[in-house]
Amino acid sequence: MKKKVFLLSSLCLILIVSIFAWFSFKTNHTYTLSPDAYNQPMGTQINPIFGKVSVYSEYDTNLVFTDVDTKETFEIGYLTRGLNETIILRRNHFYTIEANGPITISIVNLRIP
C-alpha cells in the first residue's frame, strides 16, 4: 500500500514539474515584435525551435515569412485581430517577418543581424 502511494505521489510531482518546465520554456521563447515608427520592416530574424510557429496580433495584418538563405516565402495571409495562427516552417532556418503591426510569436529563437 505504501509503495502505491509513493508511486502515485511521485508521478503527480513529476507531472507538476513537467508542466511548470513547459510553461517556463514557452514563456522564455515568446517574443513581441513590431515595426519601427516609420513602418520599416522588422530587422529581427526568427528560428523555429520545433518547426511550428504560433503567431498572434492585436491588429489586422498580413504576414509573410521569408527564408534568409533561399528567399522562399511562406505566407499566413490575413491575420484577424485577436486570433492565433500556426504556420509550419523548417527547423534550423532563419526567417525575416513582414507584418503591418506588432505581432507576438512563440517558440522561436531570435537573431538580430
CATH code, domain with 42:
2.60.290
Q: Which residues contact 20 (CB under 8 A, 6 or more apart)?
A: none
- The pLDDT value given to residue 54: 93
Does residue 100 sit within a domain? yes
- The pLDDT value given to residue 37: 52
Does residue 76 sit within a domain? yes
The model's pLDDT over 17-74, given as tens digits with 9 standing for 90+, comes to 999 999 999 989 998 888 765 455 567 899 999 999 999 988 888 889 999 999 999 9
* Torsion region of 90: left, alpha or beta (phi above 0 gives left; psi -120 to 50 gives alpha): beta
The model's pLDDT over 101-110, given as tens digits with 9 standing for 90+, comes to 888 999 999 8
The model's pLDDT over 87-98, given as tens digits with 9 standing for 90+, comes to 999 999 999 988
Domain that holds residue 67: 32-111
Does residue 21 sit within a domain? no
Four-CA torsion 42, 45, 48, 51, nearest 10 degrees: 80
Does residue 39 sit within a domain? yes
The domain total for the chain is 1
Q: Cα-flanking dihedrals φ and ψ of residue 47, to 5°?
A: -130, 110
